[in-house]
């Protein structure tokens, strides 16, 4: 990818990128809405103050980071996606979602271990509501960090005459011809294998598909001609 030098982490192997991400944004109002408070509905001052405090704590605790790799597509059928590395991802979601794409940008993103530690400390101290608010704030933070990453990726792709597909991720479902289909979560292991030997912001827990830090996300975007 023709990215500025500042977008690549020193020592990052050829073909991999670790674009710098800004801090996350978590408005307290958005946190309250996700928790079930309707916009404009009355909220007790104590709850609002706690939401503002947890949103601020989440933003200060997060250290968003991402590692990305672009890989050419060898084949894309109803059975799944086949990459030039020999990696295969299963499921019919790719055939429609990646139509016209010649390559994919695969990424691993996280808010960092400090965020997880902050939430665990709240729970350990018996601050149940605060810990819950932090968890909600974490997933809002993942969305914020993903948006920043997508914006940087889209800008660089546009400079190459390319546009991005929608985001896809292991364990996430989509609709193909009216039916619900899913990219199997088990493919997390195949995805991580594409980053072997690279310093990553997250890793798979031994023998499973869950990640640590908890507030992490994997996925891919397809790249197709912009015109």
Task: Write the pLDDT tens digit of every residue in 21-67.
Answer: 999 999 999 999 999 998 878 899 999 999 999 999 999 999 999 99
- Fill in the DSSP letter of residue 86: S
- Fill in the DSSP letter of residue 183: -
Band of pLDDT at residue 13, cut at 50, 70 and 90: low
pLDDT of res. 114: 97
Residue entry with tokens 């364990």? 171
- What is the second-level CATH architecture of the domain 5-225? 3-Layer(aba) Sandwich (3.40)
Check pLDDT > 50 for residue 213.
yes
Check pLDDT > 70 for residue 11.
no
- Fill in the DSSP letter of residue 83: E
Contact between 166 and 97 under an 8 Å Cβ cutoff? The reply is yes
Spatial distance between the Cα atoms of 211 and 215, rounded to a whole number of angstroms: 8
pLDDT of res. 40: 78
Check pLDDT > 70 for residue 10.
no
Check pLDDT > 90 for residue 96.
no
- Is the four-CA dihedral 115, 119, 125, 131 of positive or negative sign? positive
pLDDT of res. 154: 97
Residue entry with tokens 């015109």? 227
Cross-strand pairs, 90: 80
- Tell me the domain boundaries of the chain: 5-225
Band of pLDDT at residue 177, cut at 50, 70 and 90: confident
Label residues 179-214 b or e (16+ Cβ within 10 Å = b): eebebeeebbebbbebbeebebbbebeeeebebebb
In the chain, which residue ranges form alpha helices assigned H by DSSP?
28-34, 45-61, 93-97, 113-124, 128-159, 188-193
Cross-strand pairs, 12: none
Contact between 34 and 14 under an 8 Å Cβ cutoff? The reply is no
Contact between 2 and 159 under an 8 Å Cβ cutoff? The reply is yes
pLDDT of res. 180: 84
pLDDT of res. 1: 37
Residues in CB range of 162: below 8 A, 6 or more apart:
223, 224, 225, 226
């Amino acid at each position: 990818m023709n990215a500025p030098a500042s977008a690549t982490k020193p020592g990052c192997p050829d073909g991999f990128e670790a674009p710098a991400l800004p801090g996350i944004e978590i408005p307290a109002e958005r946190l309250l809405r996700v928790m079930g408070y309707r916009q404009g509905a009355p909220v007790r001052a104590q709850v609002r103050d706690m939401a503002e405090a947890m949103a601020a704590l989440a933003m200060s605790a997060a250290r968003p980071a991402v590692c990305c790799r672009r890989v050419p597509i060898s084949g894309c059928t109803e059975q799944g996606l086949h990459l030039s590395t020999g990696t295969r991802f299963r499921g019919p979601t790719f055939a429609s979602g990646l139509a016209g794409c010649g390559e994919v940008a695969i990424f691993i993103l996280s808010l960092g271990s400090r965020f997880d530690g902050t939430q665990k400390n709240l729970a350990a101290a018996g601050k149940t509501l605060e810990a819950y608010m932090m968890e909600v704030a974490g997933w809002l933070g993942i969305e914020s960090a993903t948006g920043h990453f997508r914006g940087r990726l889209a800008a660089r792709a546009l400079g190459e005459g390319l546009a991005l597909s929608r985001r896809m991720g292991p364990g996430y479902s989509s609709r193909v011809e009216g039916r619900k289909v899913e990219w199997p979560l088990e493919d997390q292991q195949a995805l991580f294998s594409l980053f072997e030997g690279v310093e990553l912001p997250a890793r798979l827990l031994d023998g499973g598909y869950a990640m640590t830090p908890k507030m992490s996300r994997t996925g891919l975007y397809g790249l197709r001609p912009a015109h």
